[in-house]
Amino acid sequence: MITLQDCQQRDASDPLRSLRDLFSLPPGLIYLDGNSLGAMPKSAAARAAQVVTQEWGQDLIQSWNKAGWFDLPQRLGNRIAPLIGAGQDQVVATDSTSINLYKVLSAAITIAKQDAPLRRVLLSERSNFPTDLYIAEGLCQAQGFTLKLVEPEEIAAALDSDLAVLMLTHVNYRTGAMHDMASVTAAAHAAGALMVWDLAHSAGAVPVDLLGAGADFAVGCGYKYLNGGPGAPAFLWVNPLHTERFWQPLSGWWGHAAPFAFTPDYQPAPGVTRYLCGTQPVVSLSLLACGLDGFAAAEPLGGMAALRAKSLALTDLFIALVEQRCEGYGLGLATPREHAKRGSQVCLTREHGQGAFAIVQALIARGVVGDFRAGDGATHKDILRFGFTPLYIGFEEVWNAVEHLYQVLANGEWQRPEFKQQQAVT
């Protein structure tokens, strides 16, 4: 039996506990949705005011140089790099994940067309995040490629001589299942294909080693575990083997070698800078820096390795407590138990039509914020999704979250009509 005192004890001896003070969270709220929108760093409000009132309001156009607005994408990219096993000057923070995926997938397809013109298949997982599949679908149409979608256990068999590019999300958004980046990348390369990773649910949540795995391209999200704020710019990484082989297709002036020469022809900038397109969202980029400060603060306390250890402890505890407390209430587990196969979230399942959405709403009404994802056709199981951000979630909160879940189930509270109302963003 795990007790409340055990959980309190774990908070007391948690070496990362002090990091929670860097974040502004409403008192009493148990926020288990940092995998979708990270919490606000306390420093963000003052930074936003400074950017708006001083840098914009007072210094105006001089701030491009004076406040360092112009090279924010590269400077932030260099701060993200150690979190994902990338080198310096290989990452830029810019645009959205969807747009960055368009750029790197286009690059991968162009390289594949040059190196292996007979390969015409882009392979991904059917349960990948939809925007990744939509971007791939559009590109495949335009480039005369075929998008092939398989289940995770079918990937190995699909690595054949038609395959040009394998595009996967490292940690699955619905189930929290994690691929072994090194072995999947090696298998793709052995089959003669390029490897593109989406790190949306990995960056800042699990240690990633892109260079160690020898991956080709990666993209990731700024507003999830990196805590960059709503709509924060995303990032992209290009293996230096490929960076200068190709102009990415959105060849705008910010990716030009000399943007202020204003020449009529495009000359790509050296290095990953050519993956920028147009003028950047400076306010949003400035706030992403506040999110990254959380990882700088974690560094002397053990960095990503310590964050990963705590994340696994939190998710292990949640699974164990749900099993201890909510047994017999029709919940299953979609997330792998094996540590090497799990990201930083836990997804519980419920038979489709058995109120998964309403259970999540009833929890939110009690101040426990998770989210709901509808079942896929294959399993007919709906998902209750809970993200555990080790920077600010504590062990006692996990206990309390499960206690609320038990109450919602045991009292039949989720069956109240107000919890059935679906809104635009779930």
Ligand X SMILES: *Cc1c(COP(=O)(O)O)cnc(C)c1O
Shortest Cβ 201–ligand X spacing (Å): 5
Contact (Cβ atoms closer than 8 angstroms) between residue 180 and residue 340: yes
The type of residue at 170 is H
**CB nearer ligand X, residue 99 or residue 313:** 99
Instruction: Pick between residue 76 and residue 317 the one whose CB is nearest to ligand X.
Output: 76
Give the residue from 337, 336, 311, 302 showing the smallest Cα distance to 394: 311
Q: Which residue has the tokens 């919890």?
A: 419
What's the token pair of residue 201? Answer: 């649910």
Q: What are 219's strand-pairing partners?
A: 198, 236
Nearest to ligand X of 169, 284 (CB atom): 169
List beta partners, residue 92: 236
Is residue 327 exposed (0-12), middle (13-18) or buried (19+ Cβ within 10 Å)?
Answer: exposed
Q: Which two structure tokens, joined as six digits, stand for 117?
A: 């013109």
Helix (H) and strand (E) counts in the chain: 12, 15
Tell me if 173 contacts ligand X by CB under 6 A: yes
Among 8, 43, 50, 96, binds ligand X (CB under 6 A): 96
**Smallest distance from the beta carbon of 418 to ligand X, in angstroms?**
28
Q: Does 177 bind ligand X (CB under 6 A)?
A: no
Nearest CB to ligand X, comparing residues 109 and 221: 221
* Contact string 194-213 vs ligand X (x = CB under 6 A): ----x-xx------------
Min separation Cβ 16 and ligand X, Å: 24
Residue from 74, 106, 169, 202 touching ligand X (CB under 6 A): that is 169
Stretch 115-134: interaction string toward ligand X, x if CB under 6 A: --------------x-xx--
Total residues in contact with ligand X, by rule CB under 6 A: 13
- Please give the single-letter amino acid code of residue 44: A
Whose Cβ is closer to ligand X: residue 168's or residue 326's? 168
Q: How far is the CB of 90 from ligand X (least distance, A)?
A: 20
Query: Interface with ligand X includes 221 (CB under 6 A)?
Result: yes
Rg (alpha carbons) of the chain, rounded to whole number: 22
DSSP letter for 329, please: S
| Per-residue contact string for residues 259-278; x = within reach of ligand X by CB under 6 A | --------------------
* Distance separating alpha carbons of residues 131 and 99, to the nearest angstrom: 10
Element (H, E) at 140: helix 130-143
Which residues are annotated as catalytic? 129, 198, 223-224, 385
Interface contacts to ligand X, rule CB under 6 A: 96-98, 129, 131-132, 169, 173, 198, 200-201, 221, 234
